[in-house]
Amino acid sequence: MTARTRPDLESIPTYVPGRNFPGAIKLASNETTLGPLPSVAKAVAEAVELAHRYPDNRSTELVAALAASVGVAADHVAVGCGSVALCQELAQITCNAGDEVLYAWRSFEMYPIVTQVSGAVAVTAPLTSGHVHDLDALAAAVTDRTRLIFVCNPNNPTGTAVGRRALEKFLDAVPAHILVVLDEAYFEYMRFPADDFPDGVAIGRTRPNVVVLRTFSKAYGLAGLRVGYAVGDPSVISVLGKVHVPFSVNVAAQAAAIASLDAQAELLDRTDAIIGERARVRDGLLAAGYAVPESQANFVWLPLGTQAARFSTESAEAGVLVRPYGVDGVRVTVADPHENDAFLEFATTGPGSAGFAAATRSETQT
């Protein structure tokens, strides 16, 4: 007889990372192609020499650096093993069995997982026909059982984002006792007009029920070291410490994040090249007849519907790995120019390209 585990775990999906195989161009995981800066690599090497010691469980130095960077007091910041770990912790501190977690769909694949693991019930609101958060529909889905709301902005996997005014209107409609998480993993890739820029930290300064999540995995190029952070009211941040897995942010991750903040300007300058390539890739797809929503992230979304799996398979056969999402679409990371060229060649001149393009138009129209 085997040991008993929770029977409901059978219904919980397992997170599936983007595929990889030798020699393929990997555009499936939204990674940066540039490695850490030399100063960051040096900080990591020095930190490894202290690997026989436990890391600072409170990440004190990193928290102080983050607080200074975003302009808040240190008690407004928590650090986690990637922002996804903080998603799990936020569900744990807000939900009991039967409580509701609300989010748009399709959105980040970990939301349903952390919801079910915490024993809560997932409630979803559909995206608009333009693959953007329908914040009115999300607000209308709030009930007296809602405890937590995730708003992924920019949204993963569609890349779309909503502006500050729309977010503030939505937050005004949400009861103050419900925690709203603005998940800004791709914050550094947004290019909004200044008067409507959706900076979650700024928006949340006067809203104690708002928590902002950001990460070092994307624009800072530290996906392999796993470090993210939350910015919110001290009443929420302090409770996160109750469910935090001790020592889960290792010494190398803390050192790399601090060094990256020291070189923040140089690292964020790198995003400009991605933004330029993002526009070029989207323009190439639009010219070939694809319907591609405007992206504010480091990827583009192809709403291929039932053709998503076939597109992904044929793209892999052409040597380019992309990320399919059920019968909804395919997400394609924007990478180096030659890698983007390889993808565009497949998507725009391949034998099935006209049919794939037509599928995106059909899905967008519906």
Give the pLDDT of residue 18: 66
For the residues 84-112, what does the mean pLDDT come to?
97
pLDDT digits (tens, 9 = 90+) for 144-172: 999 999 999 999 999 999 999 999 999 99
Average pLDDT over residues 113-133: 96
Mean pLDDT of 232-236: 98
- The pLDDT tens digits of the residues spanning 12-49 come to 777 666 666 677 899 999 999 998 999 999 999 999 99
Place 82 in a pLDDT band, splitting at 50, 70 and 90.
very high
Predicted pLDDT of residue 6: 76
Q: How far from chain centre, in Å, is Cα 61?
A: 25
Instruction: Count the Cβ atoms, other than its own, within 10 Å of residue 329.
Output: 26
pTM recorded for the entire structure? 0.95
Question: What single-letter amino acid sits at 344?
Answer: L
Say whether pLDDT at 366 is over 80: no
pLDDT digits (tens, 9 = 90+) for 326-365: 999 999 999 999 999 999 999 999 989 999 999 999 988 7
> What does the pLDDT read at residue 279?
98
The rounded mean pLDDT for the chain is 95
pLDDT at 12: 75
Mean pLDDT on 135-145: 98
Q: Can you tell me the distance from the alpha carbon of 287 to that of 284, in angstroms, rounded to the nearest whole number?
A: 5
Residue 316's pLDDT band (boundaries 50, 70, 90)? Answer: very high
Cα dist. 147→81, 118, 178 in Å? Answer: 23, 12, 5
Separation in Å, CA 65 to CA 41, 69, 72, 244: 18, 6, 10, 20
DSSP string, 250-302: -HHHHHHHHHHHHTHHHHHHHHHHHHHHHHHHHHHHHHTT---PPPSSSEEEE
Banded pLDDT at 247 (limits 50, 70, 90): very high
Single-letter amino acid code for the residue at 216? F
**pLDDT for residue 164:** 98
DSSP letters for 174-227: S-TTSEEEEE-TTGGG----GGG---HHHHHTT-TTEEEEEESSSTT--TTT--
Residue 91 has pLDDT above 90, yes or no: yes
Look up residue 276 and give its two tokens. Answer: 């330029």
Q: Are 27 and 281 in contact (CB under 8 A)?
A: no
Q: What's the pLDDT band for 194 if we cut at 50, 70, 90?
A: very high
Question: How high is the pLDDT of residue 19?
Answer: 66
Can you tell me the mean pLDDT for 283-302? 98
Query: Confidence class of residue 246 from pLDDT cuts 50, 70 and 90?
Result: very high
